[in-house]
Amino acid sequence: MHTDITIVKNIRDDAALRSSFNRLAEKTFDLNFENWYQNGYWKENYIPYAAVREGQVIANVSVNPMTFSENGILHHYIQVGTVMTDSAFRGQGLCRLLMEAVEKDWADRAEAIYLFANDTVLDFYPRFGFQRVQESRFFAPFSACTTDRSAVLVPMADPENRAALERAILSGVPQGSFDMVGNPGLILFYASQFLTENVWYLPAQNAWVIAEAEGDTLLLDAIFAPCPVDPREAAALLAGPFCERFPQAARSLSRLECGFTPAGADGADARSAEDSSAWKVLPLENDDDALFIKGKLAKTFAQEKRRFPILSHA
């Protein structure tokens, strides 16, 4: 059925196939990976499995080997992403062909395989043995009313600033109880393109943070530091400069959301109501970014409150 199709497992350094891959990604997700590649951030741990016909990428499933620290213990998982098929070739089993190739190569090399799916394919991935899993969100009170200037904006348009962030990522320790280890290429996929004005340095903590405003919420995407940093303390240091930089957002900010699983948050909902600084844990309801897992990690998510770090999504 697929005799005219070749699975190419690394297109990064093939200019023609990379260009074809980017065209399909633009049509499917409105994404283009070329700047990421040209800036040197497309590392060896982003591996497209591309279905190629007559020199063109017509379908793709990308493999992302990931290392996570879970309460200080390292675990190795595979994240599947950039799943796409050209509209002219849908319904021909190309996604299944690629998924089977991925599992054949990687199932024995990782403890689990996972992916994030949108609401159009929620019934698709269970056919491959994936189980939908509930993530959690972690909130704490936040006050934007501060004049403390303890954070410095670090624009990512400057290559030297990006290099400094990359060094901080590589030298940092895991933050929280479930955090991605290393992987500067993935972090810089976001920081160099979509979050260029959202990276800050906190001199008092020798920490780098990436933060956004979403309605009434300061979303702390990530922290990179040589020592563990409490996200609530980082937010307090960031509050004044952040609100000065984004004055319209400052008027409505009233809570902090941690974009990863903060340390000690597993029992946050059981803490005394008198502890006003405790993390409030809520289910993450999002059918457009639903988590599916194949492997024992699914059981861990069922038993514990956690989320994959926002900036670990590939």
- Taking only the tens of pLDDT, the chain with its 314 residues reads 677 899 999 899 999 999 999 999 999 999 999 999 999 999 999 999 999 999 999 999 999 999 999 999 999 999 999 999 999 999 999 999 999 999 999 999 999 999 999 988 889 999 999 999 999 999 999 876 665 668 999 999 999 999 999 999 999 999 999 999 999 999 999 999 999 999 999 999 999 999 999 988 999 999 999 999 999 999 999 988 888 888 877 677 889 999 999 998 865 444 444 455 689 999 999 888 999 999 989 999 989 999 999 999 99
β-pair type (199-202, 255-258): unpaired
The pLDDT, as a whole number, for residue 142 is 86
* Whole-number Å distance between alpha carbons of 292 and 116: 6
**CA diameter of the chain:** 66
The pLDDT, as a whole number, for residue 199 is 98
Q: What is the CATH number of domain 138-283?
A: 3.40.630
Enumerate the domain spans of the chain. Answer: 6-110, 138-283
* Whole-number Å distance between alpha carbons of 62 and 41: 16
The DSSP code sequence of 11-46 is: -TT-HHHHHHHHHHHHHHHS---HHHHHTT---TT-
Rounded to two decimals, what is the model's pTM?
0.92
114 phi/psi in degrees, rounded to 5: -140, 165
Instruction: Please indicate whether the domains covering 6-110 and 138-283 agree at the CATH topology level.
Output: yes
Which of 141, 116, 118, 45 has its CA nearest to residue 307? 116
The pLDDT, as a whole number, for residue 119 is 86
The pLDDT, as a whole number, for residue 145 is 63
Q: Which position has the token pair 């006050």?
A: 143
The pLDDT, as a whole number, for residue 32 is 97
The pLDDT, as a whole number, for residue 66 is 98
Q: What is the DSSP letter of 261?
A: B
Q: Assign a CATH topology to domain 6-110.
A: Aminopeptidase (3.40.630)
The pLDDT, as a whole number, for residue 273 is 44
The radius of gyration of the chain from alpha carbons, rounded to an integer in Å, stands at: 20
C-beta of residue 93 within 8 angstroms of C-beta of residue 58 = no
Alpha helices in the chain (DSSP H): 15-29, 34-38, 94-106, 159-171, 184-191, 231-245, 247-250, 297-303
